[in-house]
C-alpha cells in the first residue's frame, strides 16, 4: 500500500505538472521559461545537496534503532540547517561572478523556499519508516493542487515571471506546513534532539550516499546550468521544453522495474541460470519499449512541439529528436540496476554515474559553444550511453550486463 501511494503521487504530479507546465511555458515564451528553469536548476541542485544524500540511509537507521529516532531526526535536521546558508551563499556568489541582473536574484529568493524547507523533509522519512507515506502524499498533493490552481490564476490574469516563481515558493512552503501539522497530531517535532557523536557517525557512514546523490543530481541538472551560463536563456527554454517531453516516459521504467524485482529475487533463489534468463528477458523488453518510444517521438516531434508548446518553440523539435534517444540507455540502466542490488554490486551504480557525469561535463564544454541546445541534448544522449551501457564493460563483475545489453539489440524482433 505504501508503494501504491508513492506511485499514485508520481503519476498525479506528472499529469498535472505536464499540463500546467506546458501552459506556463507557452505563456512565458522561450526566454523567460529558460530564465525560470536556469534558477530552478540551481535550487534543485542545492536542495539535493542539503539533504546530504542520506534519505535512504536515515530510514534504515531509524528502522534498526527506533528508540534513537528523535536523535537521528534532530541531528540530521540541524546538519541540514547549517549547510543551507553555505549553499545559498555559493549560488549568490556564482550569480555575482556572472554579473546577472536583479531579476535572477528575485527568482532565486522566491524559488529558494524549496531549499530552506529541506530540513522538514525529515518528517517524510519518519513516515516512510512507519509505512505511512500516505500522509506525505496527501499533504504535498494538496499543496501541489493549490499551487497549480494559483499558477492557472496567474496565467489568466497575465502576471509577470516573478509571480510564477512566487507561486512555486508558496507551494513548497505550504506542503511542509501541512506535513508538519499532520506530523504534530501524533508526534512532536520539538522532541527531536541533536547528538554530536551521532552527527559524526552519520557523516562517516553516509558519505558514499552523499557522493552518489550529488553525482546523480549534477548528472540530471548540470546541462541546464551549463547551457544557461554558456549560451543564453532562450536556448535553455528550448532545451527545457524538449526534456519535459522526454521526462514523461521516465516513470515507466521505474514502475516496471519495481514490479519486476520480486521476480528476479525469486529467480535468484531458484538458480543462477534462471536468474540470468529473467534478467535478459527484462533487458530485452526494456530495449524494445524504449526504441518504440524513441522512434514515435522522432517521427512526430514537430507535431508534438507545435501542439503542446506552439510555433515559438519549434526549434525545440530538433532538440527533442536528439534527446529522446537517451531513453534507450536510461531504460537499459534501470533494467540492470536490480542485478547490481541483488548481487551486492551497488558501488558500480555510483561508478557508472560518476563516469557519465564526467563525460557529460566534457561533452557539454565542447558541444554547447558549437551547437547550443542541440549540443547539450547530444551530450546528454552520448553520456547516458557511456554511463548505462559501455561503462559496464569496464569491470569484470558487470561485463555480463554489458553482454546482455548488446544481446538485447539482436533480440529486438526475436520474441522467443
pLDDT tens-place string over residues 296-316 = 999 999 999 999 999 999 999
pLDDT number for residue 314 = 95
Nearest by Cα to 380 from 240, 189, 208: 240
If pLDDT is split at 50, 70 and 90, which confidence band does 9 have? Answer: low
Average pLDDT, integer, range 243-268:
82
pLDDT exceeds 80 at position 259? no
Average pLDDT, integer, range 336-356:
85
pLDDT tens-place string over residues 189-225 = 888 888 888 888 777 776 766 777 677 777 778 888 8
pLDDT tens-place string over residues 110-169 = 999 888 888 888 888 777 766 666 777 777 888 888 988 999 999 999 999 999 999 999
CA 289 to chain centre: 21
Grid cell in block for residue 189? 517535532
d(CA 124, CA 176): 10
pLDDT exceeds 70 at position 227? yes
d(CA 290, CA 324): 9
Are 406 and 392 spatial neighbours (Cβ–Cβ below 8 Å)? Answer: no
Average pLDDT, integer, range 224-250:
90
Does 207 or 323 have the greater pLDDT score?
A: 323
Grid cell in block for residue 157? 490574469
d(CA 191, CA 193): 6
The pTM for the full model equals: 0.84
pLDDT exceeds 80 at position 399? yes
Task: Please state which of the ranges 37-46, 68-77, 301-310, 315-324 shows the lowest mean pLDDT.
Answer: 68-77
Identify the burial level of 199 via C-beta atoms within 10 angstroms of its C-beta, where 0-12 means exposed, 13-18 middle and 19 or more buried: middle
CA distances from 78 to 45, 194, 317, 348, 369 (A): 19, 7, 45, 31, 41
d(CA 358, CA 162): 34
pLDDT number for residue 2 = 47
d(CA 209, CA 223): 22
Does 215 or 396 have the greater pLDDT score?
A: 396
Grid cell in block for residue 411? 533480440
Domain definitions of the chain by residue range: 2-230, 240-410
CB neighbour list of residue 82: distance below 8 Å, 6 or more residues apart? none
Write down the residue that cell numbers 561485463 correspond to.
399
d(CA 416, CA 289): 16
CA distances from 289 to 283, 338, 415 (A): 10, 18, 13
Identify the burial level of 25 via C-beta atoms within 10 angstroms of its C-beta, where 0-12 means exposed, 13-18 middle and 19 or more buried: buried
Does 247 or 394 have the greater pLDDT score?
A: 394
Q: What is the mean pLDDT of the chain?
A: 86
Average pLDDT, integer, range 382-411:
92
If pLDDT is split at 50, 70 and 90, which confidence band does 33 have? Answer: very high
Average pLDDT, integer, range 81-107:
91
Query: Residues for the chain: how many in total?
Result: 416
Task: Please state which of the ranges 169-178, 182-191, 198-207 shows the lowest mean pLDDT.
Answer: 198-207
CB neighbour list of residue 158: distance below 8 Å, 6 or more residues apart? none
Write down the residue that cell numbers 507546465 correspond to.
21
pLDDT exceeds 70 at position 74? yes
Amino acid at each position: 500500500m505504501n508503494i501504491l501511494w508513492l506511485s499514485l503521487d508520481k503519476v498525479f504530479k506528472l499529469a498535472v505538472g505536464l499540463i500546467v507546465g506546458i501552459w506556463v511555458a507557452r505563456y512565458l515564451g522561450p526566454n523567460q521559461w529558460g530564465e525560470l528553469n536556469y534558477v530552478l536548476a540551481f535550487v534543485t541542485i542545492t536542495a539535493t545537496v542539503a539533504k546530504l544524500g542520506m534519505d535512504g540511509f536515515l530510514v534504515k537507521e531509524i528502522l534498526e534503532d527506533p528508540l534513537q529516532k528523535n536523535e537521528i531526526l534532530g541531528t540530521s535536521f540541524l546538519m541540514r540547517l547549517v549547510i543551507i546558508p553555505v549553499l545559498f551563499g555559493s549560488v549568490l556568489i556564482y550569480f555575482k561572478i556572472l554579473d546577472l541582473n536583479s531579476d535572477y536574484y528575485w527568482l532565486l529568493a522566491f524559488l529558494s523556499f524549496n531549499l530552506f524547507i529541506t530540513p522538514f523533509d525529515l518528517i517524510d522519512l519518519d513516515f516512510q519508516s512507519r509505512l505511512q507515506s500516505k500522509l506525505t502524499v496527501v499533504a504535498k498533493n494538496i499543496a501541489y493542487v493549490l499551487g497549480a490552481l494559483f499558477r492557472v490564476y496567474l496565467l489568466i490574469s497575465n502576471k509577470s515571471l516573478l509571480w510564477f516563481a512566487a507561486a512555486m515558493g508558496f507551494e513548497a512552503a505550504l506542503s511542509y506546513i501541512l506535513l508538519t501539522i499532520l506530523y504534530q497530531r501524533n508526534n512532536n517535532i520539538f522532541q527531536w534532539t541533536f547528538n554530536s557523536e551521532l552527527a559524526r557517525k552519520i557523516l562517516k557512514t553516509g558519505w558514499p550516499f552523499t557522493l552518489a546523490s550529488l553525482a546523480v543530481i549534477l548528472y540530471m541538472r548540470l546541462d541546464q546550468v551549463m547551457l544557461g551560463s554558456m549560451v543564453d536563456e532562450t536556448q535553455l527554454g528550448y532545451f527545457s521544453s524538449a526534456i519535459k517531453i522526454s521526462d514523461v516516459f521516465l516513470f515507466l521504467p521505474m514502475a516496471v522495474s519495481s514490479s519486476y524485482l520480486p521476480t528476479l529475487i525469486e529467480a535468484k533463489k531458484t538458480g543462477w541460470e534462471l536468474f540470468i534468463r529473467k534478467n535478459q528477458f527484462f533487458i530485452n523488453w526494456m530495449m524494445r519499449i524504449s526504441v518504440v518510444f524513441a522512434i514515435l517521438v522522432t517521427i512526430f516531434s514537430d507535431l508534438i512541439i507545435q501542439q503542446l508548446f506552439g510555433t515559438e518553440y519549434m526549434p525545440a523539435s530538433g532538440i527533442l529528436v536528439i534527446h529522446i534517444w537517451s531513453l534507450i540507455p536510461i531504460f537499459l540502466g534501470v533494467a540492470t540496476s536490480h542485478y547490481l542490488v541483488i548481487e551486492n554490486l551497488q558501488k558500480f551504480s555510483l561508478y557508472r554515474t560518476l563516469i557519465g557525469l564526467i563525460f557529460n561535463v566534457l561533452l557539454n564544454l565542447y558541444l554547447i559553444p558549437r551547437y547550443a541546445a542541440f549540443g547539450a541534448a547530444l551530450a546528454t544522449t552520448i553520456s547516458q550511453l557511456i554511463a548505462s551501457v559501455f561503462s559496464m564493460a569496464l569491470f569484470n563483475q558487470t561485463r555480463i550486463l554489458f553482454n546482455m545489453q548488446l544481446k538485447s539489440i539482436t533480440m529486438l524482433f526475436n520474441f522467443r
